[in-house]
Structure 1
Amino acid sequence: MTEYAQSIYLQLKSIASLYDIDFHLYFKSSGGFGELCMDWNDVDGYLLYGDERGERLSLYKTPDFDTFKYEVFLHLAFRMGLEYELKHRDLAYIRKNEDDLQGDTRKIAFEETIRLLATIDTDWARKAAIHYAEYLNMWRTEKNVRYDFDTATFIAKQF
């Protein structure tokens, strides 16, 4: 069982290396610092969780390897997207209101996450774009944000 889980971990690490994805994923334990970890067993299948002082937090599990790969790389790409957004944040921009998409810092992080996922699998990028558009629309007055694959950005479409 442990050998299979280790082989999955090494396969994920290899994919990350091929696509230049920072591989912040640990096998079974991160040393208790809340980092992203993975494991596998016969009962639950593939497991993704945060390891906080030996306790598994925010457990995600699935019997499907392709679904698991998507979740792993969504998390890894999102971490990189957040780092990208922080490096490129316009500190002079003042957000006008909740509907000001340009002032929503998540927009840049999500766009970078989708860009990274698209280098691996375009279906993953499309799935993430739908999810993130729903999320960006959640607190908006007008639910008009969508991802434009031609410009690789989220836009607020005027109807």
Structure 2
Amino acid sequence: MALFEKIHDVNKLSQVKGSIPMEFHYTAGPGLDPFFQGLLDGKLIGSYCPECEETFFPSRLFCEKCLTEQTKTKEIPNVGIIESFTVVCEDRFGNKLKKRESLAMIRFPKVTGGLVHKLQIPVDKVKIGQKVKAIFISPKERGGKITDIAWFQGA
């Protein structure tokens, strides 16, 4: 099959099972560093462009509108709004979950961008437009990672 040939019959697809061992060290870089540092402190941090008067979340290295370097940060309110969501029945490895979970795209007022995270709301109670707030794990357990936010719950 050629590289750009379209597949019309999914039964002709194949896969090769195996693994590729990889070791790497990944850093967030200077653009996302304020965001992850904020998580370590239990805060949501974005970048602020004084030229456009625009706040971006998570923080960015450059403004998406005027391309100026972002050197100012701004704390984002801890309450956001569910823009969209999905209900998950399997983990990322394809194993069935004991209990269904919800993941949501959460936007914050007057902020460009947002965050996808899990919800601690019964799946039948999740609604688009619902206000939610970030719940952080204990300060001793934080490591400057996205999992420093345990979940979002109803605000």
Report the TM-score when normalising by structure 1. 0.22
With a CA cutoff of 8 Å and minimum separation of 6, indicate the structure with the bigger relative contact order. Answer: 2
Larger Rg: 2
Q: Which structure shows the bigger proportion of residues in strand conformation?
A: 2
Q: Which structure shows the bigger proportion of residues in helix conformation?
A: 1
